[in-house]
Structure 1
Amino acid sequence: MPPMFRFAAKFALALLVGASALHAPNARAVDEKDLLPVDQAFALSAKAVSRDRIELSWRIAPGYYLYRQRTSVEGIEGGVLSMPEGKRKHDEFFGDVETYRESLTATYAGAVAPTATSVALTVKYQGCADLGVCYPPQRRTIDVALPAATASTGDDIFSRRPDASPLIGAAPTVDAQPLPPEQAYKIEAIAADGNTLLLRFTPAPGYYLYRDKTHLQIAGEGLSLGAPRWPQGKDHKDAYFGDVVVYFDQVEVPVPVGRTHARPVDAQLTVSFQGCQDGGICYPVMSRTLPVSLPAGNVGAVTESAAPSNAASTETSLAEDQRLASRLAGKDRAWTLLLFFASGLALAFTPCVLPMVPILSGLIAGRGGRIGAWRAFTLSTVYVLASAVVFTIAGVLAGLLGAAFNLQAAMQNAWVLGAFAGLFVLLSLSMFGLYELQLPAALRARLGAASDQQHGGSWMGVAAMGALSALIVGPCVAPPLMGAVLYIAQTRDPVLGGAALFVLALGMGAPLIAFGIAAGKGMPTSGPWMVAVERVFGFVFLGLAIWMLSRVLPGAATLGLWGLLALGAAVWVFGIGRTPRAKLAARFAALVFGIVGAAQLLGAFAGGHDPLQPLAGVMGEKREGVVFRRIKSVEDLDRELAAARAAGKPLLLDFYADWCVSCKEMEKYTFTEPVVRDALAGYVLLQADVTANDAQDQALMQRFGIIGPPMSLFFHDGEERRNLRLTGFEKTDAFVERVRKGAAQ
């Protein structure tokens, strides 16, 4: 059992072995892979040899030993535990002790009620490994069936239900042999957020789980658990426990988590539970230990009472990324992966992904030659698969390593963006034929050959461009991406999480394949159109270069470059056209380009930054946006949260970066709306600029388990309202509703 194995390896030295064990002179580092899970090191079983005597047996693995003084049994009033003499030794942990190796058989004797059919024993024991590591004290509850006055029991560890047919004699109610406990009951745990665990029980068909026989404990620095919020179960008349509530089907249980600190923490959740086979045996109380990784959360205690909630209300209380992560952990995973593919299709038409269309079209179009639908399909598929693989790897690493590793953010610096923009400029110059006019013959031949391979359809070239596009031109942080990364971070399952990221990328790439086929099939084979197409793609590549540089250049400089590009296009368009009608159309288009370019240059000189509204500043029509106060570090945030809490105000924390396209969308289309400014009037407004992606930026993002902007977090009374967290761009009306919920008590 890997969870128990990890529990023993991480906490054994720290729990109940004393400071002397931690600082023993002979102590040495022990690899957790060298240790057995505790239930394999000390396998416990029990059987009743008579109504007043129970035999307990431990099978002890080689290299391990049990302490006699640390072994005890409770369950029968006045019961006496008899144990054989052990091997005496002086133990560095407990002094003079007796130990057992290989096996231990003890008897527990005492009088039980004449009508009792079973007895529940609580067995406590502790042991160590010769490697120098002691396991923490173990506690097991075993329900042992008692024989009738004239019958004897076997060594089955299960107890018979009073209302079940006997195993021999009359025909049994349940023909199938009972399943092993691990197959009969599956348990999963995931952190819904820093203050909530989501526990999932899945009984096998024909088995059920007792609600009130389930108990939870958590081992983690500064963590405590509140009352589980069980959904409605089924009322059941039980021969053992009377009127009880049970669950026959999969059930999800949110569990509040209290904490004394806000930072992320790895913990161990121990779940004790009991269940039965319908019409068959009852299992003894079982225990599972599950690893959970809690992201940063809010400091505070949890209440002990909580009303039951159903699955629907649980899901609606989660943010969108949490719902997607929860669905990945659910049983309808195939449908969830299909949902990720559909989400990718929707993301394909956002400003983050659309720039891939001209890149792929230009690579396939090359020098204007028609390559056919099949060739275009294969090249497009290679481009999409390469980008999907790199996108998946980056997302999986972000989920496993957290905000400290964000490859996409690391690629958004001036040097990388400048190099990528330079590549687009070189590609555009080849489209304009300048290689042949300005470069020496030898260099021209090499560049020409490289250009022919790149543009004419080299699989390696297209794959390389697809991989780079996934990191540099690729999608912004969106709820599906965050949902998959959150699932990987919480479950440490890169396979299913990576599959979700991969199908998300395939969804984003599906329209690109369609565009690529159209580009390959629709290109003319020869003639003046070929030259015109080359020139068009030359301007497109220059536009992509400017778009890349806009992430690091001032807005006015970017607007000026757009103006120069428009004027250059006007000059070229003015000279094309062979017929009078074509010339007239070309000169009209040149006039339009010239006016647009001149307006953009004028707007740039006036300090404008919006290519679609270049004269807004000149005409005095600039719209005022929401004014945020910038913070940089975790300490800055804690100080502002304390001040907002003292003032009784809600707080909005917006994560922003210059290279984040969706951040610019929020800034331009949402934060400039008067209704948004009015809704945020009572808020403390903070913005974390994580453009640099330095250590302070990463620490701030890691506190909340996010991988990058755009992200909007809402706080009330100093605590984040996780269900309101916004990932990506949101339109005005929906954002205003979110803001109003964030301000509500």
Structure 2
Amino acid sequence: MKRLLTLLLVIFMVPAFADSFLQSAPTDSVFGGSNATQMDFLPSEQAFHLEKKKVDEQGVHLQYIIADGYYLYKNRFSFKTDNPQVVIGELKLPTGKIKQDESFGEIEAYHAVLDIVVPVNNPKGQGFNLEVNYQGCAEKGLCYPMETANINVDGIVSTAKVAADTHDTVTSPPTTSEKSINQDRTVISWTTLLYYFGFGLLLSLTPCVFPMLPILAGIVLRGQVRRVRAIFLALVYIVSMALTYAVFGVLVGLFGAELGLQSRLQSPWVLIPFAIFFTIFALAMFGVFELRLPSFITQALDKATDKAHGGSVLGAAVLGVCSSLVVSPCVSAPFAGILLHISTTGDALGGGVSLFTLGLGMGVPLFVIAAGGSMLLPKAGMWMVVVRNVIGVMLLAVALYLLSRVIPGYIALALWGCLAAGIAVFIGTFDFFQTKSKPQKCAQLIGLFLIVYAIAAWVGSFQGKTDPLQPLHTDSVLTSSGVTQSLNWQAANNQQELNHLLEQAQAQGKLAMVDWTADWCIACVKMEHEVFQQVDVINALSDYQLIRIDLSNTTPLHRQLQNTYKVFGPPTILFFDKEGKELSSLRIVGEMSKKEFLRHLSQVSRYNQ
């Protein structure tokens, strides 16, 4: 039995570790590809090739051919015309692929092929120029500034309604890019499936489920004493239950896709109700009230369950389906939260596979009992209530995460502190006058850490900080003598200002470093925090003339600078020697870690010795 459990553990864990290994492989390894900082990036017009396909009554049909390894931001598109008599109708862009970013949160992006129909209200059929604004990035870290393309349209007669005059939405049929994006989104990692499997196992250990497992095993197995037969019946029950959950996942995923919840998940009108729902689910897990199906449904399912006879394949299957429908109070709240999450993805296949995996995890204890390993399961006790409360805290954290997208960051940080303090009080951190067991003492120790975090979050919130992972993080560094230290950047917005700063560096006999950055550049923000604010990097750059060109709001003068120095976009770093000449072979394109950047600086120094 122990060998069987070990084998099952290996089967589920090896793919997850393999997936993590491949994701964390060095960029220059066999698994990781080439080093992004040394690769040649494509010009914007090649990375995002735009064509006008046709013009008809629906509008102007545009197509982007996006190079492999590049993507476009959905929320950075804008369209306008140069003719006041021609007005853009309400546009509905295809659903993009969700990308989770540690700096900017969830973004929606397009890959491969993107087809867009721009509806136009042009009753007189006049010619006009369509201005298309867009922005994209390379997967390896380079972000392009906002690009503008002008499309000449000879004339079009359209009945498209203007967004300001009506609530009707101009829709287009599913495009090739939308289909390919949806197909790409259904690729689920082993890590994600492992999370769902573990969460299902956690749900089976709640006080409403775990104590009933021996009774359930007796009903399903119906006195079967042969171990192989018992295992087979248990698997039938588990798979039937998991398939029923999968059906729910598929249906809810389709429902969310039809409503377009994924694209609307940046709206406060969606985020706030969802946060309220998750809070309600959390309160249900804390025992404030119970979430149950209506009695007329549960009574009908109970009758079906009573008619099913255990000990047979059909009976085990019927019991599995019915048990998945009659969810217990401890399962209903988190299950509803999971369904709500799947609805926002709009991914039917992914939702089905995820909930199928969740069902398998919930069936593990029953499988262990059927395999004769009931002695390996823990005894029922207060730990089950702890499991239920942990799930409740997880639901509260999800609610706060959703809410943090629509409220100021410093308020969200204060709420994270309140959540940590509430947990600490709930687990008895300040109860010092009663005798405690070892687990309770460990909980009390954890509570003290939570109190420290809560105080740090409140102090950080008061100071205007927003990062819950680094509530007291500052943009400057204290030296050992207690003096605040930071990089002294000089801004350049045109060629004249840049030349002046380079001449200043040359007159002082300094090397010059020119950093091209932008606030929308994910890699730039990451390098700002993880590289340029580190004390050893600040010391290494102490003898440099530091120049920064900010492309957050690109102007024609910025584009002129980009063309002069052949800079596609940020992050790009140029080095100039003491004679004012660029060290082109030492140019940095893309993101670098602190260690790589310091090594690169040593190469720059050797080059100028």
- The structure that is strand-richer by fraction is 1
- The structure that is helix-richer by fraction is 2
TM-score by length of 1: 0.32
